[in-house]
C-alpha cells in the first residue's frame, strides 16, 4: 500500500466517525509491532516519532526505516513527525519522506505560533505533506524533562488559527497530558464540543495513554480524528525487556518480545478507536 498523508487518513476517519491511532516508535521492533497490528486488523495507522526522541533515535536512521515500513505495509500508513520544535527538524523529516509533520509552537506568543506554522505549511506543501499544529498547551512533558501546565484551547481562537494557517489537523488541550496520569484525567468534553461546533479542522488528542475506552469514544464523537499513543507503547517495551532479562533470554527473544508487546498495545487501541460512536 502507498505511504499516505495524515489529511487522507483523517478524511476517511471523519467519514466513518472514527479516529486514527498515531503510535510513537523508537526502534525497529516498535515499528514492526505497530505495522503487524495494523495489517492484522486491516486498519490504517500513523507511526510517529517526536523531536525530543531524536537524540536516542536519530532521524537519519529511524526515519528511513519508518518510511520503508509504511511503503511495504499491506495497509495505508502515514509517517509523522510528532511535536516538531525547529523548522530545520521539520525540513529534515520532509526530506526523509515523512508524509506528515507537526509543528508545536504552542508555548510561543500567539502571533509567533501563527508565523512559524504558516512557514511550515508552506514548506510541507512542496512535499505534498500534511501539517498538524497545537493551540492551547497540552500538559505533562514529551520526555525532555520540561513539564507544561495545561492551557485550554479557546474555540474562537482555534477558528482564527486554523483559518490563518491552513493546517490539516489541530491538537487541542482539554485537560489531556503527556506521560503518566497520576489520577484518572477529567477531560473537558464541553470544551472539545465547543471547538468541534465552530472549527472545521479535524482535531487531535495527545496524551492518550491512560484514558478509558468510554472517554476515547466520547472524544471521537466530538471531533477527535487522531489519537496519540506513546507512553503505553514505551512502557510495554520496557516491561517486555525486563521479563526477557529475568528469563535469561537472548537478543533474538528480546527483539521478538519487544515487537510483540507493541503489537498487543497497538491492536488494543485500534479496536477502541474503530468502534463507531453514535452521533
**DSSP states of 90-144 as a string?**
HHHHHHTT-SEEEE--TTS-HHHHHHHHHHHHHHHHHTT-EEEEEESB-BB-SSS
Say if CB 240 and CB 262 are below 8 A apart. no
Question: Residues 184-202: pLDDT tens digits?
Answer: 567 899 999 999 999 999 9
**pLDDT class of 279 with cuts at 50, 70, 90:** very low
Does residue 40 lie within any of the structural domains? Answer: yes
Residue 96 belongs to domain spanning? 6-273
Does residue 141 lie within any of the structural domains? Answer: yes
109 is catalytic: no
pLDDT at 7: 97
Question: Residues 156-195: pLDDT tens digits?
Answer: 999 999 999 999 999 999 987 766 655 456 789 999 999 9
Does residue 153 lie within any of the structural domains? Answer: yes
Does residue 233 lie within any of the structural domains? Answer: yes
pLDDT > 50? residue 147: no
Does residue 278 lie within any of the structural domains? Answer: no
Alpha carbon distance 69, 71 (integer Å) = 6
Q: Which of 218, 206, 236 is nearest to 275 (CA)?
A: 218
pTM for this structure?
0.92
Does residue 152 lie within any of the structural domains? Answer: yes
Question: Residues 80-133: pLDDT tens digits?
Answer: 999 999 999 999 999 999 999 999 998 899 999 999 999 999 999 999 999 999
Q: Inter-axis angle of helices 110-126 and 155-165, to 10 degrees?
A: 40
**CA torsion 198→203→209→213, rounded to 10°?**
70
62-69, long-range: CB < 8 A, 24+ apart? 62/25, 62/26, 62/27, 62/31, 63/92, 63/93, 63/96, 63/97, 63/98, 64/96, 64/97, 65/28, 65/31, 66/25, 66/31, 66/98, 67/3, 67/96, 67/97, 67/98, 69/31, 69/32, 69/35
Alpha carbon distance 46, 78 (integer Å) = 5
C-alpha cell at 251: 537478543
pLDDT at 207: 86
Residue 46, domain CATH: 3.20.20.70
Question: Residues 17-51: pLDDT tens digits?
Answer: 899 999 999 999 999 999 999 999 999 999 999 99
pLDDT at 179: 63
Question: Residues 221-267: pLDDT tens digits?
Answer: 999 999 999 999 999 999 999 999 999 999 999 999 999 999 999 99
Residues in the chain: 279
Q: Provide the number of structural domains found in the chain.
A: 1
Alpha carbon distance 140, 146 (integer Å) = 8
* Residue of 16, 76, 82, 104 with catalytic role: 82
Helices (H), the chain: 6-16, 28-41, 59-71, 87-95, 110-126, 155-165, 189-198, 213-221, 231-246, 251-273
Amino acid at each position: 500500500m502507498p505511504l499516505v498523508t495524515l489529511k487522507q487518513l483523517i478524511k476517511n476517519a471523519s467519514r466513518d466517525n472514527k479516529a486514527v491511532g498515531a503510535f510513537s516508535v523508537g526502534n525497529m521492533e516498535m515499528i514492526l509491532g505497530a505495522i503487524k497490528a495494523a495489517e492484522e486488523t486491516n486498519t490504517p495507522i500513523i507511526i510517529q516519532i517526536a523531536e525530543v526522541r531524536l537524540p536516542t533515535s536519530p532521524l537519519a536512521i529511524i526515519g528511513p526505516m519508518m518510511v520503508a515500513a509504511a511503503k511495504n505495509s499491506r495497509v495505508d500508513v502515514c509517517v509523522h513527525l510528532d511535536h516538531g520544535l525547529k523548522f530545520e527538524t521539520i525540513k529534515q523529516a520532509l526530506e526523509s519522506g515523512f508524509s506528515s509533520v507537526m509543528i508545536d509552537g504552542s508555548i510561543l506568543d500567539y502571533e509567533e505560533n501563527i508565523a512559524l506554522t504558516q512557514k511550515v505549511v508552506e514548506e510541507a506543501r512542496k512535499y505534498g505533506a500534511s501539517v498538524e499544529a497545537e493551540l492551547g498547551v497540552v500538559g505533562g512533558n514529551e520526555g525532555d524533562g520540561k513539564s507544561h501546565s495545561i492551557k485550554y484551547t479557546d474555540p474562537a481562537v482555534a477558528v482564527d488559527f486554523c483559518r490563518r494557517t491552513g493546517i490539516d489537523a489541530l491538537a487541542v488541550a482539554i485537560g489531556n497530558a503527556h506521560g503518566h496520569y497520576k489520577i484518572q484525567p477529567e477531560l473537558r468534553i464541553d470544551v472539545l464540543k465547543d471547538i468541534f461546533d465552530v472549527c472545521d479542522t479535524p482535531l487531535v488528542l495527545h496524551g492518550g495513554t491512560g484514558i478509558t475506552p468510554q472517554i476515547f469514544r466520547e472524544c471521537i464523537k466530538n471531533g477527535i480524528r487522531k489519537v496519540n499513543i506513546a507512553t503505553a507503547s514505551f512502557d510495554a517495551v520496557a516491561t517486555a525487556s525486563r521479563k526477557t532479562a529475568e528469563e535469561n533470554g537472548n537478543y533474538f527473544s528480546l527483539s521478538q518480545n519487544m515487537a510483540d508487546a507493541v503489537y498487543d498495545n497497538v491492536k488494543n487501541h485500534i479496536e477502541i478507536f474503530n468502534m463507531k460512536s453514535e452521533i
